[in-house]
Amino acid sequence: MEESRMDKHVTVVGVLQIAFGILGLIGTIIVIIAFNFIDYFVEGDEVATLVLWGIKLILSVFLAFFSIIKIIGGIGILKYKSWARYVVIVLAVFSCFNVPFGTLVGVYSLWALLRDETIALFVPQTGEGSKTD
């Protein structure tokens, strides 16, 4: 009975990771659009244009990278892949610094993924009842 309850928490963690990953990709697009808009105000100033371009590149690559990793980790969690549990644990630690929603998702993900009942769900088992490959 306890195992099925933790199944639900694992599913919620996976869906949250995918959802926040998608939001992160949308945020990446917004960052790119915003910096392109700001570029119009500094047109002609080569130094300002170069600095803004560098910030836009670093910020958008950073956001896109972590967003894609969140989506991949969330899909892996939903498929009970043991590697995904470790990936999402690391992402959850970083999410704790993203106050307030990231903190809530991070703490919840850590709580759900570090429980003994959850760890047992990700251990490869032999037989038909196995959730992992």
Residue 124 has pLDDT above 60, yes or no: yes
Task: Give the range among 18-22, 86-90, 126-130 with minimum mean pLDDT.
Answer: 126-130
**Would you kindly state where each structural domain of the chain is located, as residue ranges?**
2-122
Record the pTM: 0.85
Tell me: the pLDDT tens digits for 41-61? 888 889 999 999 999 999 999
Contacts 24+ apart (CB under 8 A), 91-97: 91/17, 91/66, 94/66, 95/20
The terminus-to-terminus CA distance of the chain in angstroms comes to 23
